[in-house]
Amino acid sequence: MAAAARRRRRDRLGTAPRTRVAPFRRRLVIMAKAPIAGAVKTRLAREVGSVAATGFARHAAAALFARLGHDRRWQTSIAVTPDPSAASWLWPMGAVIIGQGRGDLGQRMQRLADRVPLGPLVIVGTDIPKIAPQHIATAFARLGSCEAVFGPAADGGYWLVGLRRRPRRLTPFRRVRWSSAQALSDTVANLTGRSIAMLATLTDIDSAETLAAHAAGFARRVRPPA
């Protein structure tokens, strides 16, 4: 009876019932290049050989998705290049696979930022084995109060970029000197006047030295007790 009375009162006043607006979904995109010999980790391959570099790329992508891809705090997609590889067996079973499209890294990231459904967006690559779920959770938390967030890499680039994408879409990837020590500073310069947060600095595996250090650390973690 009370509910019917409230409905009649709303009808008389011309008001609609209040509805709760669903929150924007947190979205994580992992950018990955198809791990095909001669086409992936070419700088690393010049030092350690194509087989070792390709093996690292394949393992790193699969391990990263295993760590991050099933976390219910966000929805995960893998954005792959080249686009035809989206139909390949190379990617984890059950993963949402999308194409990156053409262009340089900045054009491809901007395309993702523009086309992925609205909500806080975090983009990472597969070259940083130390990316953990807590890093992603922290990035999304920072986007609660900042418009952008970055995970700096030791070489001057960045291993993570996050964009809040509301109330406006940002375009931070223009005129960036990719694969250089200025990649992060160039991107930040495109965001002058915007609120930005920084995460921990991590190391990209892009040389024989960093690959050896990663392999040694992995061996220590999995070595059985004496």
Per residue of the chain (226 residues), what is the pLDDT tens digit?
A: 555 555 554 444 344 444 343 457 999 999 999 988 888 888 888 999 999 999 999 999 999 999 999 999 999 999 999 999 988 888 888 889 999 999 999 999 999 999 998 899 999 999 999 999 999 999 999 999 999 999 999 999 999 999 999 888 899 999 999 999 999 999 999 999 999 999 999 988 888 888 888 776 554 554 555 4
CA–CA gap between residue 158 and residue 138 (Å, rounded)? 16
Displacement of CA 34 from its chain's centroid (Å): 16
Write the CA distances from 148 to 187, 188, 198, integer angstroms.
11, 9, 9
CB distance 202 to 128 below 8 Å = yes
Tell the CATH superfamily of the 24-212 domain.
Spore Coat Polysaccharide Biosynthesis Protein SpsA; Chain A (3.90.550.10)
DSSP H or E run through 122: strand 121-124
Cα dihedral 172, 175, 179, 183 sign? negative
Centre a 10 Å sphere on the Cβ of residue 177 and count the other Cβ atoms it contains. Answer: 13
- For the record, the structure tokens of 68 come out as 């991050």
Q: Which pLDDT value is given to residue 35?
A: 87
Query: pTM of the prediction?
Result: 0.85
CA–CA gap between residue 40 and residue 55 (Å, rounded)? 10
Q: Where are the domains of the chain?
A: 24-212
